[in-house]
Structure 1
């Protein structure tokens, strides 16, 4: 019984070690964005759901080189600071699918064809997501989420 508890603690510690850095990175970058980027600037850059804003958010996501934990935190911060819902999601998708470093690794391990396919697939994924959000945009739900964020969600 004690051996099993020890194994469980060891596994928990190993997982904390593996994901801890990404959580710290995500929350640190999120804090920097919250402190440095004004709501007005965020609305100016990503406040609409147009092609330009979605492409810009996808570019920021690809450059962010973050894991899914950090990407989710950063995407929430973008939304909280005034980015529209669709660009926030485009950032989330691209920061896990269009990352430059991932492309380099894919190129080295699997070749240029796979890398190009990965990037084309990522762009197609973002385009489909944008279209689906446009067709099924949950306006009331998004407004409630933004109001919840602006009031601090009970945490500020």
Structure 2
């Protein structure tokens, strides 16, 4: 093969490869709520429909202890997810929580175990899961019933 032709072929190949190279995607910072918590999309599949939410993630013990305390409102498609490292019986109270909430107890496979609907603001009575769960989702009180969300539906985030 002609050495000039080989060099030209390599140069063309290099320039074509450089032209087709895609710019590296820059990592984006996670979306944060006003409270500084990471916000993620969450979907509940119920009766063949997908209900979309943007939820804050209460990941640390401190964030989970604070939860939605002192919030005066919660948008219809917002909420807070409390993921656990290992499934466990979850127990919540409504101390310093100003608005009613639906507590959606989620099994490790993503299905809803049960829903405590319209929990009572300021109540110190524990609201517990009936079995070990991997996460709890808090939504605005009455929202689960409004959307037809019930035990057995699938949650993903």
Instruction: Indicate whether the TM-score tops 0.5.
Output: no
TM-score by length of 1: 0.26
Q: TM-score scaled to structure 2, two decimals?
A: 0.26
Query: Which structure shows the higher strand fraction?
Result: 2
More helix by share: 1
